[in-house]
Structure 1
Amino acid sequence: MKAGLVRRVGVLEIDEVPRPAVGDGEVLVRLRAAGLNRADIVVRDGLFAEQQPLPIILGVEGAGDVVEVGDGVTTLEPGQRVVLLPMLVCDSCDACRSGRDSACRSLRFLGEHTDGTYAEYIAVPARNAVPAPDSMSYTELAASLLAYMTAWHMLVTRGQLQAGETLLVVGAGSGVGSAAVQLASALGARVIATTGTEAKREKLCAIGASEVVNYCDVADFSSTVRALTDGRGADLVHDAVGGATIQRSIQSLRHGGRLIGMGSHSGPHADILLYSLYRNEIDFRGAHAADSRELPDLLPMLCDGRLRPVIDSTFRLESAALAQQRLVSADRFGKVVVTID
């Protein structure tokens, strides 16, 4: 089969590799699309400390059709359209039994710890193949599940966002950022978003942002956020940017506000003024991945169109290297997807 893999650090190549065999409890999926993720770049460049030794097929997100089921699989059958859950868990600890994937101590990910979705076929545990709604294309499916599950985990499970609250989404033009804007708006929150271009301002307003702050036009977006909230500050901040924005995110919050951090694209270290946390009693919470228990609440919103993935661009698998270039482009808005013929 054809696959996009890394044999040497920093180099993505398209080559023929053996099709994976199906084990007990697994299904073989003929992939039709793969959503790109920043993790793909980190693994490609050898910067992820826990990744599988090279070679590795990249790709965390994907969608396609079941073509074969292994022994013991009763929940799926050949021909079913599925979207993949990228979280690989032990399925036996207390966290797994309660659907808290992010708390599994054996948690691994497709495309990071094992071969991923830049391929024509992938074998995964049956629990990782979620029956997909007919209302969504393969491209939309590949761009949707992880971004919206991450947004749900950050905003609802960890952030406890309530209707009527004010949410600030920092770096809202990314895949998970745009998902957070849509989700929060659908849940009845007021959304303030930050971005770096006027073109993205219009797009963010179109998907649910009430106000958009262009961080290239203001020295400190936290001052603008406070002005937009009559000096009070936001109730919750969604920050997936990392070190470059964390302090300003803290300063954007009301007294007793919550900061949800996930991701460190601008660097893994941050210079934080601790007094700004203590004095204002800020609740700083981390978020990692998502939980399968969140699917019953999220999937209906995708199925009925209340949430619709934002697709920036699509590329063929043969052009996956170009797709990765687009992924890190400053003017990207939403998800980049590779289609697999």
Structure 2
Amino acid sequence: MRAAYASSLQPDTPLSALTVGDLPFSVPEGWVPIDVRASSLNQHDIWSLRGVGLPADRLPMILGCDAAGVTPDGAPVLVYPVVEDKADPRGYSLFSERYPGTLAERIAVPRENLLPIPDGVSFAEAACLPTAWLTAYHMLVTRGRAAEAGAVLVQGAGGGVATAAIALAVALGKRVYATSREQWKRDRVAELGAIPAEPGARLPERVEVVIESVGEPTFEHSMKCAAPGARIVVCGATGGHLARVDLRRVFAMQLEILGSSMGTPAELAELLQMCATAQIHPVIDSRYPFDSVADAFARLSSGDVFGKVVIEH
């Protein structure tokens, strides 16, 4: 079976650890084999090649968390990426951490991890959802309680989670502000129906929800933009994890700083249905055939992406 996998761990040159070749395929008892039609890349894949969360004794490890495909009877399905894992301190792991990932011709999946893909959602669009879009949905709807908000700020437009958060918040009818250092990304923000802003810029209003995945460079700005009682929802720290927090502002404004990670199968089902009924199309930066998966990784690593990088089979 053709697969893209980590053959070594290279902290400084992660792409040199990527190999595309044949690996054996097996299906654990009670699991279902899925023929993959599309998958998408995440920064998690780059970190795996660096050896973060992936020890050497699990190599070779097929990469990838996200996939859409068909069951043996031809039903189109989306793969929920979280697997129960009693050996992990978290109680779960993602595909490509302990169990083979999605960047392959086929993947074995627990039956309960399969969700039907509704009409109107393509394999490529569905493959964008399980990690980045589900994370954004959970941050907005569940942790951020966006239903109670009028305005949302998304820091660091361009990445998968931030771009998903912009599109979803606009679809939910919110006034959405989104920051980026690069003008072309701010132009794309405007195309999605949001209001672009430079990092650190003063907004016309304070917001009730902040989607924060950048961390250290933007966190002070996130707090200054927060309305009384606002929720600052954090899912990552791509720019640095040692952010300064003015506790006086936290208690005076009664702010909530909330950690967030992934989402539930029920939320993924809700997100799928929302995409179908509201005709929300996940933002795809670029598409690559499986034979060009190395080019897809190079694209993701470039930092010039806006949306998801998709692999199609």
Q: Same fold (TM over 0.5)?
A: yes
Aligned counterpart for 1:212 among listed residues 196, 199, 212: 196
Q: How does 1:305-324 map to 2 (within 5 A)?
A: 305-324=278-297
Aligned to 2:84: 89
Superposed CA RMSD: 2.1
Q: How does 1:87-126 map to 2 (within 5 A)?
A: 87-89=82-84, 105-126=90-111
1:257 match: secondary structure: strand
Q: Offset at 1:23?
A: 2.8
Structure 1 residues 81, 52: closer, same or farther in 2, change over 3 A? farther
- Secondary structure of 2:66's aligned partner: coil
Is contact 1:169–1:177 with CA below 8 Å preserved after alignment? yes
Aligned residue in 2 for 1:186: 171
Is 1:170 aligned to residue 155 of structure 2? Answer: yes
Q: How does 1:37-186 map to 2 (within 5 A)?
A: 37-48=42-53, 53-67=58-72, 78-89=73-84, 105-162=90-147, 165-186=150-171
Q: Matches of 1:195 and 1:150 in 2, distance apart?
A: 20
Cα 1:5/1:154, change in 2 over 3 Å = same
1-structure distance, mates of 2:24, 2:169: 43
SS of 2:272 mapped into structure 1: helix
1:326 Cα deviation after fit: 1.2
Decide whether the 8 Å contact of 1:50 with 1:113 is kept in 2.
no
Contact 2:126 2:272 in 1 (8 A): no
* C-alpha separation in 1, matches of 2:223 and 2:308: 27
Structure 2 equivalent of residue 257 of structure 1: 230
Give the Cα–Cα distance (whole angstroms) in 1 for the partners of residues 56 and 227 of structure 2: 39
In the alignment, the residues of structure 2 paired with residue 314 and residue 133 of structure 1 have an alpha-carbon distance, to the nearest angstrom, of: 22
- TM-score of the pair, normalised by structure 1: 0.83
In 1, Cα distance between equivalents of 2:56 and 2:177 = 35
- Counterparts of 1:64 and 1:30, CA distance in 2: 5
**Structure 1: runs of 5+ lacking an equivalent:** 68-77, 92-103
User: Which residue of the other structure, out of 186, 198, 206, is the alignment partner of 1:201?
Assistant: 186
Residue 105 of structure 1: CA displacement? 4.4
Which stretch of the first structure deviates more once superposed, 1-10 or 131-140?
131-140
Distance apart, 1:137 and its partner CA: 2.2
In 2: Cα distance, 1:158 partner to 1:143 partner:
21
The answer (yes or no) to whether the contact 1:35–1:338 under 8 Å persists in 2 is yes
C-alpha contact 2:39 2:102 (8 A) present in aligned 1: yes
1:13 aligns with 2:19: yes
1:335 equivalent in structure 2: 308
Matched position secondary structure for 1:258: strand
Contact 2:85–2:93 at 8 Å: present in 1 too?
no
Tell me the secondary structure at the aligned position of residue 8 of structure 1: coil
Q: How big is the shift at 1:192?
A: 0.6
Question: Mapping of 1:240-319 within 5 angstroms?
Answer: 240-319=213-292
CA distance in 2 between partners of 1:184 and 1:163 (Å): 12
1-structure distance, mates of 2:56, 2:222: 30
User: How far off is 1:50 after superposition?
Assistant: 7.3
CA contact 2:36–2:70 (8 Å) conserved in 1: yes
Contact 2:32–2:71 (8 Å) recurs in 1: yes
**After alignment, is 233-242 or 52-61 more displaced?**
52-61
Is the contact made by 1:31 and 1:63 (CA closer than 8 Å) also made in structure 2?
yes
